[in-house]
Structure 1
């Protein structure tokens, strides 16, 4: 589709330039000198009209493609909601009748997988709203959000101990975007704490701190840690965009982001919400 579109636009542009160029020089040679300025104005108007036609040819198919993609995403999102709800409802019903420990553990894994699907559902809904410029800001208690994210991640990182010291703090912000920020920071803390299975989370005086007890970060690396695609250890999974997304979100929402780390002693990331 877009290959043919590029070809058509190029041909239109090339032919238009040839016609305008040839027509201008022919008219210039056959016209009196006093008419040159009028001739230039006429050809400038024709060039502007040609530019409008080119932009129309370029943008309209792209707009149609994006609109169709958004509609497909919304329809898919709507269809996903039913099986997720069905799985959750039936799991809850089955759980009430089971007493076998092994079966209950298997059921717990299904519930965790369902929670992960729900998370992806919410993120897809969030991305659609962001793309269509819809308002995603809401009022919520940051303490409750942190508790919610810890409970969700505990099911994934079951061997990690999460310590929490949290004060209530109501803010008005993009809740799903902030959830992704918290998840990314904790995920990085777990990833680089292979031997120390502990994450400390504190929320005091409008400052959220997330501390791991892992390998720490060298001072030279700290200068690049928020760069896009940068990874300190290439053997680790991921693409190096997690902390870049964290910084971009913080900059957009006026959250002051700080990081303290010492090689071999772990890393603490601070999110200061006082300026929000």
Structure 2
């Protein structure tokens, strides 16, 4: 599709340029027109029309392609919701009839996996709304959201000790987007704390501190850490887009972002929210 589009634009550009040169030659050497203003007006008119055609050729197919992808994503997302809900409902009923400890543990693992699928569903739904600028902000308890996200991440990282010091805090913000930010910050802390499995989460005076006790970063790494696809440790899993997403969220929601880190002394990321 896009290969043919490039060919069409190139052909149109080549023909248009040749036409302009031919018209200019005709005016100057055949008609011997000396009125430069007339030549400029004619050429500007043709350039404007040509620019409109090139824009139409290049943008409309891309717009249609993006629209089709968005529609497909929405339809797929809608279809995913039903099986997830079915699994959770039936699993909840099944757990009531299980008495064997091993079977109960298996059911709990299935439930955790289903919660992770639900989380991915929520993230996809959020990304679609974000693309369409349809993200809703709401009033909610930030300390309660932090407890919920830590409880969720405990099921993924049972070996990690989470220390919470949370002051009751009400904010008005994008709750789904902030949930993704919190998950990314804690997930990064766990990944880069391979020897000391401990994460501190503190919320005081509208400031959120997420501290790990991992490898830390030097000044060079701190400059690049918010770039897309940058990873201070290439052996880590993931695509290096987490902190870039965090920065975009903070910039669009007027949240001050700060980062403190030293090699071998861990990293602390600080989010400062607006006071209501």
Of stretches 80-89 and 181-190 in structure 1, the one that deviates more from structure 2 is 181-190
In structure 2, the partner of 1:10 is: 10
Match status 1:45 vs 2:45: yes
Q: CA deviation at 1:166?
A: 1.0
Distance 1:267 1:40 in 2: 62
Q: Deviations for 1:122-175, whole angstroms, at most 9, x for unmatched residues?
A: 111111111112133222211121111111111100111112111221212122
Q: Indicate the larger mover: 28-37 or 14-23.
A: 28-37
Which residue of 2 is the match for residue 91 of structure 1?
91
Q: Is the 8 A contact 1:145 1:179 kept in 2?
A: yes
Deviation at 1:219, TM superposition (A): 4.1
Provide structure 2 residue ranges, at least 5 long, that are not aligned to the other structure.
none
Cα shift readout 1:91-149 (whole Å, capped 9, x = no counterpart): 00000111111111111111111111111111111111111121332222111211111
Describe the superposition over 1:65-101 as per-residue Cα deviations: whole angstroms up to 9, x where unpaired: 1111111111101100000000000000000111111
Residue number in structure 2 paired with 1:213: 213
Question: C-alpha distance in 1, partners of 2:203/2:152?
Answer: 18
Q: Which moved more, 1:219-228 or 1:231-240?
A: 219-228
Task: Check the 8 A contact 1:28/1:36 in 2, yes or no.
Answer: no
Question: 2:195 maps to what in 1?
Answer: 195
Residue in structure 1 matched with residue 260 of structure 2 by the alignment = 260
Q: 1:2 to 1:258 in 2, by over 3 A?
A: same
Shift of 1:33: 4.1
Cα separation, 2, equivalents of 1:275 and 1:18: 62
Partner of 2:162: 162
Paired residue for 1:69? 69
Normalising by structure 2, report the TM-score. Answer: 0.94
Cα drift, residue 187 of structure 1: 0.8
Residue 34 of structure 1 and its aligned partner are, at CA, apart by 4.3
Find the aligned partners of 1:50 and 1:243 in 2 and give their Cα distance. 43
Match of 1:246 in 2: 246
For residue 60 of structure 1, what is the aligned residue in structure 2? 60
8 A Cα contact 1:254 1:275, kept in partner: no
Could you tell me whether the CA contact under 8 Å between 1:130 and 1:136 is conserved in 2?
no
CA RMSD of aligned residues (A): 1.7
Q: CA deviation at 1:31?
A: 2.9
Deviations 1:179-209 (A, max 9, x none): 1111111111111212212211111111111
Distance 1:64 1:219, change over 3 A: closer
Partner SS, residue 257 of structure 1: strand
Question: Is it true that 1:172 corresponds to 2:165 in the alignment?
Answer: no
Runs of 5+ in structure 1 lacking a partner? Answer: none
SS for the counterpart of 2:214 is: coil
Query: What's the counterpart of residue 80 of structure 2?
Result: 80
User: How many residue pairs were aligned?
Assistant: 276
> Who is 2:26 aligned against?
26
**In the TM superposition, what are the counterparts of 1:120-199 in structure 2 within 5 Å?**
120-199=120-199
